[in-house]
Amino acid sequence: MSGGHFDGWSHYRLEEISEEIKSRIKTENIEVTNENGEFLGTMEKSEYSADTNHELLNAINIIQQASIYIKRIDWLLSGDDGEESFQERLREELEDLETKN
């Protein structure tokens, strides 16, 4: 059955939100020149401050964790997973997330 207890695939919406936030905090390299137009190097530029980017990255991690919990609980409540497989899969997916981040 693969879930279905909650309305639709709620965890996918959280994944989409996470990706949207990631796309907003990407930095770009810009060329730095002096007043004579001589190239001095590159630096990263972002739309937001370092503190705000840090909080956005923190939010991404929390959203990704919530997505995993929603999916695993959905499968548990739908009867697709028993308690043992729920615990095992939850632990594995959270560990995988930790490894990625």
- Cα separation, 35 vs 42, in Å, equals 15
Q: Which residues of 50-86 are buried (b: 16+ CB within 10 A; e: fewer)?
A: eeebeeeeeebeebbeebbebbbbbbbeeebbeeeeb
Residue 2 has pLDDT above 70, yes or no: no
Residue 9 has pLDDT above 70, yes or no: no
- 14-28 pLDDT per residue, tens: 889 998 998 888 677
- Cα separation, 67 vs 83, in Å, equals 18
Residue 4 has pLDDT above 70, yes or no: no
| 8 — pLDDT class (breaks 50, 70, 90) | low
Residue 68 has pLDDT above 70, yes or no: yes
At 5, is the secondary structure helix, strand, or coil?
coil
* Res 5: pLDDT: 63
Query: 70 near 9, Cβ under 8 Å?
Result: no
Kindly give, in sequence order, each residue whose CB lies less than 8 Å from that of residue 83, ignoring residues fewer than 6 positions away.
Answer: 76
- 15-67 pLDDT per residue, tens: 899 989 988 886 777 777 788 888 877 777 777 887 888 899 899 999 999 99
